Structure 1
Amino acid sequence: MEILILLVVAVVLLFAVKEIRRSLISRPMFGFFKRVLPPLSNTEREAMTAGDVWWDAELFSGRPDWHRFHQAKPPQFTDEEQAFIDDQLEQLLAMLDDFKIVQQDCDMPKKVWDFIRKEKFFAMIIGKEFGGLDFSPAANSHIVSRIATRSISAAVSVMVPNSLGPGELLTHYGTDEQKNYWLPRLADGTDIPCFALTAPEAGSDAGAIPDTGIICKGAHEGKEVVGIRLNWDKRYITLAPVATVLGLAFKMYDPDGLLGEQEDIGITCALIPTDHEGVETGERHLPLNQAFMNGTTYGKDVFIPLDWIIGGQDYAGKGWRMLMECLSAGRGISLPALATATGHLAQRMTGAYSYVRQQFGLPIGKFEGVQEAMGRIGGTNYTIESMRRLTVAALCEGKSPSVITAMTKYHMTEMGREVIEAAMDVHAGKGIQLGPKNYLGHGYMATPVSITVEGANILTRNLMIFGQGATRCHPYVLKEMEAAANPDEEQGLRDFDELLIKHIGFAASNFFGSFWMGLSGARFNASPISGPTARYYQQLTRMSRALALTADVAMLVLGGDMKRKEMLSARLGDILSHLYMASAVLKRYEDDGRQSGDLVFVEYALEQHLNKIGAAFNGFFANFPNRAIAWSLRVAIFPFGIRYKAPQDQVSQGIADSMMEPGVTRDRHTFLCYWKDDAKDMTGHMELAFTAMKAHESIYKRLKKAEKRGEIPADLAGDELIKAARKAELLSADEAKSMKKVEQLRIAAIGVDQFAPGTLEKRTFAK
């Protein structure tokens, strides 16, 4: 007993007496931390500290405050935004013929370009004081998503000026003179902007761009001034072929010391009219059978004055941070909007097609194999829309959450890929034959575009989400890194000492908390609500605590090597991401008033996310290099094994049935999908056939029973079916007339486009 008391006293003294603690614990740990601290390049450091944290920090802490989470306001439109959506947006959508844009003209018609410029679709993020619309992220996201259900090419053309580009950079960093000159011209469509970052051998590693700007003296407007001699060669630049003003990122150097003693100034952004002497608009790219303008730009020994630097001379060398701060917002809107469009379109049209298309006398949506794919479409789309709303809500609050927008961009574009592939599987031949009636083909081909740009998905998943999240979202790591980097080592040690004690308590609490939740199955965890979703809140809190523990152990054991263990890092990032996505699903369910028709979608999504969290933990434990620690973590977090299962078959069947039922639930889940009340329209032909068949469902059932009784021949369709039914007195004259129209719609809807000989062969590219 005495020995135990002595041990307790020793431990108390060790931690409670500051000088003893610093000498025996903090100083050795401080040295260890400095040794294992991963070295960061300037671009990595700027990317690491750009943007804000939000709900991601709560999830990473292991103690998410669900009550505060529910207080976040869902995105809403102003009256002005709603009026634009109801008027100008609908006008634009009615003008778009995507088959003609992509397959015939490889460009939008002049009237569409003129309408977009006149109605300020390029100026949604520009302030009203400069003639812009000054729309919220919610309106921006909605507008781009809805356009994308009609034409990806048109959506990309609209989204780029409203994402990372001159308009946003000028708004945040431009001088008054730059804003007053350029923003009104961008707002009224006088100028079309593009932004050139990517070079042939520098994509994600912007620090490796070979494009240079040398400070020197030169002639500008008849005077000798200090300026920049630029040389660049850029590719993959959207809107470059039609742009009148070029945003350019380059490395700036001052070898003659004209600005000061620093020679390597760093990445800088400038704004250059494309008609400026030496600026060359190169040849156009053709990005996967899409018609949006994308091409090259280059220049050799192009001289520009210093005041063309965005923000002026004070912002020389600050270009990378400017880009990262702006990208963290734009990345949460633009490409996720394309993925959202894919989800809404795929769910609405696949539900309709699965009812209209029949096989063996049944809608194909009644076959379990098709239902599995439909469950994947509907359940995944519920997450896509939920994630879009939650991220937009953060942006509407004025946040710029870099980790969340990285997660949003990566996972929404990947989910968009899953959904469109499932939709193509269900549509089969209907999906692969291009033509005016094909509403899936161009979206399917465009999917890799979203996967690739604004941070390729492999890079985003393996390096960015956890790599940035581990420092930005962790309550202590970034502060500890700053303490370790403090040139005043004694002050750094004092700061580190205070943080370390808190960090030790944090880690110990996570260990014991994770173990208790594992033993109890999280049954005693608090939930902000009761009902069928309460258990999910409990499990997400448990997994949040498990992530906090695992991340701490991984960073402690691997140190700087964690940066190179990309597969392990990716799995921890997946856990954080699926916690965020599951949170988004729960938030949407609450915001929408717990609609009973949504519950099957919510269940599918949450079971899927928990299952993937379990798979990520399993992969992490199986591949963690220190096997003893991996085993200890597995036992502490999952003492009875990982028991999260994928959604059950009956859940997918429930989703499939819902997708084939017109009504409020279907409309709420696919409200962004545009369709025109026209039997010849791209989506209208399927929507009209579906609604007409559902309205005549009882008659179809009557005819099917008569067929089984042998009163009419089997496998009849169209006019033959109507004639046989009329002859057997199964239909009245009015019913026969109505059914004839329905059968015409049905047969046209399951049909595909065809072209006269020689028509397609005439489409050639100039050599």
Structure 2
Amino acid sequence: MFWLLFISIGVIVIAVFGLPGLRRLVITGPVFALYKKILPMMSQTESDALEAGTVWWEGELFSGKPQWEKLLAYPAPKLTPAEQSFLDNECAELCRLTNDWEATQVHHDLSRAAWQFVKDKGFLGMIIPRHYGGLEFSAYAHSQVVQKLSTRSSAAAVSVMVPNSLGPAELLLRYGTEEQKNYYLPRLAKGLEIPAFALTNPHAGSDAAAIPDTGIVCRGEWQGQQVIGMRVTWEKRYITLGPVCTLLGLAFHLHDPDHLLGEVEDIGITCALVPSNHPGVNIGRRHWPLNAVFQNGPNSGEDVFMPLDWIIGGPQRAGQGWRMLMECLAAGRAISLPSTSTGIAKLAVRATGGYARVRSQFNLAIGKFEGVEEALTRMGGNTYLMDAARMMTAGAVDLGEHPSVASAIVKYHVTERARQVVNDAMDILGGKGICLGPGNFMGRAYQQIPIAITVEGANILTRSLIIFGQGAIRCHPYVLREMQAAQNEDARAGLRAFDAALVGHLGFAIGNALRAVWLGLTGSHFASVPKNMAPETKRYYQQLTRFSAAFAFLSDVAMLVLGGGLKRREKLSARLGDILSLMYLASATLKRYEDEGRQAADAQLVHWAIWDAMFKAQNAFEGVLANFPNKAVAWFLARIIFPLGRPYVVPADALGHDVAKCLIEPSVTRDRLTAGMYLPQNEAEAINDAVGVIELALEATRAAEPAEAKLRAAEKAGKVGAGDTANNAANNERECLHQAQQTGILTLEEAALIAHRYDLRDKVIRVDDFPSDFSVAAHD
């Protein structure tokens, strides 16, 4: 009897799920009706934001079984000969023309010579095609240029970055009319126009879709004729290059109360190009963003009449501004801030690592103290990972992707890690770091780091709302399809689409649950790995596959149990986003290692960066489980995700020691880690440059090591140094050196090496000082 009942139930289940018509009648039909009731209707701006951009590798990580061969098959980004030449010549020359201390303390901007060079050499037209007079650089080349400039001056980096990121040029290229392109793009490429894009309103902030700036379609006079145009009123702030722009890209909400354009009254967000000298445009004054001194400020206008032809793309693009902005933002965000942040991190790593080797305390280089070593380890590992994510994401843009979720990931995590790198550098530098002056290479960067955290979507918002909130819908293979089915006006077509998506969703969730348990019980040792991968990275691919399956299942359960309430539980959403992000960053690190030819000397950087990312991802899993509102479900999830406990602990101290050692010694690993940064071209330039003199001092320190060892041995043996020990340390060591040379312990050449090392070291550790009234502002 029992078996008959069991078989009957099985037959019914198979019949229901195996026959689409019966399934829709009994199961998916009622579920669909309930789903439509509880699913909030999406506004057009929400729909545009969700559908903007493309899904790339982050979608694989959401699948529960990433196709690693696909990742490794993506071509490594490379520069063309023309791009490399520009980086080596024009970009290097702009770095040479730019002195960050003078920019921040004297000019409060780039110098006139630097600005003219920027215009003349095409820096403002890197993304503009050649037939318009631009350089037509790849996204990777754009990223490389911005990174290099960031190692020298934020003013140079931002002034070049913004016109090539989200702004008039990109909007024109993608949406402009042929007339607009033919007129403006050559002028932008030649620097005859300086663009700015005005989006942020004081009363909207991060909720840019709610901007109160308005345009009213009306009739007015333009060039002596009565035409249909717009009267636009706006108030903007935080507009980069706004104070010096000649062409203002303007976002506002367009209304047509008199129906001059059609039946729709609320047309929507619209983007227009407005000459800054147009009557009624008020460019205003400047903001002062934490001594970054790039041009930034407010602008406004009241009832400014402008023709409809000024809408980007012409009148037919009216109301499409939000979609245009969302589609462009993905590419810009993937390049600009990851590049500037990585550049700052490379500056911090190379200069601070050199300083830690040159600077000694208790007769030991400070970089060899374990406390300092710990900070150097984080700096090195984070910078390797940041650069990997920057290169992979810029490469995706060159493949034709506009990765909206991946761009949010790199924007948030690369800027946050840059903040940690700079903080660690400041801790190591101590008083040298906090006293501003020409010799301080880190102080201004420390002041300016919060700017990257804030702009292009504040990091708190990006982490808590965007990465998982958008990622769960865009990257999940079924959720967006279910939402679109629910909003289908054709009820029958909507039900069929929902039924197909729901069945696929159930199979997806069950498959990931089983996969997560299996991989957890077996330690993921049987997970598939890509062919021809580096053997030393095998376990990382396997563990990432395990985490991917667990994350996909956890996400499905969280969305099922919490529904729309998950959006309001921002801390849970943020932790889920952290898991996705950290898997993306670890993936980028693995790809970089393969793309660079599996450099064995860099392996310790790879191991530390991935181990740290996986440990943090594990903690994010636990953060979700510990705070899941349904404790019974949380208990069940914990048994699925960690059936045998946590697989990761913190990276080992011995590994950290190897990473830190890479930063304080000249090596090919140190060069690869900081590749692309600007360094002085010769000794004459280096001796008067804050970073250059560290490079010289590090070389001198290494060259003098054997001779210094002889000197230390002589001191311990009492052969030198038996003089007036009350003298300061510098005088005493010079006296010891003189004695050692006079007594033949050191040759004349050895003594000269040590003296040269002392001279450069003293220049490195020197701290700038000024008159008590700071009357000398720029030079000492």
Please state which band the TM-score falls in when normalised by the shorter chain.
over 0.9
2:670 aligned residue: 666
3-state secondary structure, aligned to 2:105: helix
Whole-Å separation in 1 of the counterparts to 2:247 and 2:74: 39
Whole-Å separation in 1 of the counterparts to 2:397 and 2:745: 59
The one of 439, 449, 452 equivalent to 2:451 is 449
2:527 aligned residue: 525
Higher mean alpha-carbon deviation, 298-307 vs 14-23, is at 14-23
What amino acid maps onto 1:692 in structure 2? A
Structure-2 change in CA distance of 1:521 and 1:32 (3 Å): farther
2:758 aligned residue: 743
1:582 aligned residue: 586
Could you list the per-position Cα deviations for residues 231-288 of structure 1 after superposition, in whole angstroms to 9, with x for gaps in the alignment? 1111110111110111000000001111011111100000010111111110111000
Equivalence map 1:326-365=2 (5 Å): 326-365=328-367
Share of identical aligned residues, percent? 51
Whole-Å separation in 2 of the counterparts to 1:747 and 1:282: 46
2:660 aligned residue: 656
1:486 aligned residue: 488
Tell me whether 1:680 sits opposite 2:667 in the alignment: no
Contact 2:534 2:594 in 1 (8 A): no
Whole-Å separation in 2 of the counterparts to 1:721 and 1:233: 68
2:643 aligned residue: 639
What amino acid maps onto 1:684 in structure 2? G
Whole-Å separation in 2 of the counterparts to 1:34 and 1:410: 34
Whole-Å separation in 2 of the counterparts to 1:101 and 1:214: 42
Contact 2:348 2:421 in 1 (8 A): yes
Shift of 1:762: 7.0
Higher mean alpha-carbon deviation, 278-287 vs 699-708, is at 699-708
3-state secondary structure, aligned to 2:773: coil
The one of 247, 266, 270 equivalent to 2:272 is 270
What amino acid maps onto 2:370 in structure 1? E
Structure-2 change in CA distance of 1:149 and 1:721 (3 Å): farther
Could you list the per-position Cα deviations for residues 697-727 of structure 1 after superposition, in whole angstroms to 9, with x for gaps in the alignment? 2112222222222222285566334313213
2:288 aligned residue: 286
3-state secondary structure, aligned to 2:535: coil
3-state secondary structure, aligned to 2:284: strand
The one of 62, 70, 73 equivalent to 1:71 is 73
Tell me whether 1:759 sits opposite 2:774 in the alignment: yes
1:321 aligned residue: 323
Whole-Å separation in 2 of the counterparts to 1:167 and 1:530: 42
Equivalence map 1:380-391=2 (5 Å): 380-391=382-393
The one of 687, 696, 712 equivalent to 2:704 is 696
2:508 aligned residue: 506
The one of 539, 542, 547 equivalent to 2:543 is 539
Structure-2 change in CA distance of 1:629 and 1:339 (3 Å): same
Whole-Å separation in 1 of the counterparts to 2:730 and 2:115: 48
Q: TM-score, normalised by structure 2?
A: 0.96
2:58 aligned residue: 56
1:192 aligned residue: 194
What amino acid maps onto 1:553 in structure 2? V
Contact 1:467 1:563 in 2 (8 A): yes
What amino acid maps onto 2:500 in structure 1? E
Whole-Å separation in 1 of the counterparts to 2:461 and 2:492: 37
3-state secondary structure, aligned to 1:491: helix
The one of 689, 699, 712 equivalent to 2:720 is 712
Q: TM-score, normalised by structure 1?
A: 0.98
1:722 aligned residue: 737
What amino acid maps onto 2:429 in structure 1? H
Tell me whether 1:598 sits opposite 2:606 in the alignment: no
Shift of 1:474: 0.6
Shift of 1:575: 0.5
Whole-Å separation in 1 of the counterparts to 2:689 and 2:510: 62
Contact 2:389 2:585 in 1 (8 A): yes
1:559 aligned residue: 563
Whole-Å separation in 2 of the counterparts to 1:754 and 1:443: 19
Tell me whether 1:408 sits opposite 2:416 in the alignment: no
Equivalence map 1:78-89=2 (5 Å): 78-89=80-91
Whole-Å separation in 2 of the counterparts to 1:698 and 1:379: 30
Whole-Å separation in 2 of the counterparts to 1:139 and 1:18: 52
Shift of 1:728: 3.6
Whole-Å separation in 2 of the counterparts to 1:325 and 1:437: 42
2:381 aligned residue: 379
What amino acid maps onto 1:47 in structure 2? A
Shift of 1:756: 2.7
Whole-Å separation in 2 of the counterparts to 1:700 and 1:273: 65
Q: How many residues are paired up?
A: 763
Shift of 1:730: 2.1
5+ long unaligned stretches in structure 2? none
Whole-Å separation in 1 of the counterparts to 2:146 and 2:338: 10
Whole-Å separation in 1 of the counterparts to 2:719 and 2:40: 79
Shift of 1:760: 4.2
Shift of 1:530: 5.2
Shift of 1:44: 1.8
Whole-Å separation in 1 of the counterparts to 2:177 and 2:692: 48
Shift of 1:591: 0.9
Could you list the per-position Cα deviations for residues 664-685 of structure 1 after superposition, in whole angstroms to 9, with x for gaps in the alignment? 1111110122221321112111
Whole-Å separation in 1 of the counterparts to 2:267 and 2:183: 27
Contact 1:434 1:753 in 2 (8 A): yes
What amino acid maps onto 1:727 in structure 2? Q
Shift of 1:38: 4.1
Contact 2:703 2:753 in 1 (8 A): no
Shift of 1:58: 0.4
Equivalence map 1:228-243=2 (5 Å): 228-243=230-245
Whole-Å separation in 2 of the counterparts to 1:538 and 1:760: 62
Contact 2:241 2:294 in 1 (8 A): yes
Whole-Å separation in 2 of the counterparts to 1:453 and 1:584: 24
Whole-Å separation in 2 of the counterparts to 1:597 and 1:632: 43
Contact 1:348 1:673 in 2 (8 A): no
Higher mean alpha-carbon deviation, 513-522 vs 718-727, is at 718-727
The one of 17, 20, 23 equivalent to 1:18 is 20
What amino acid maps onto 1:738 in structure 2? L
1:733 aligned residue: 748
Contact 2:106 2:777 in 1 (8 A): no
Whole-Å separation in 1 of the counterparts to 2:536 and 2:270: 53
Whole-Å separation in 1 of the counterparts to 2:144 and 2:720: 50
Shift of 1:527: 1.6
What amino acid maps onto 2:462 in structure 1? T
Shift of 1:7: 2.6
Equivalence map 1:162-241=2 (5 Å): 162-241=164-243
Whole-Å separation in 2 of the counterparts to 1:61 and 1:320: 29
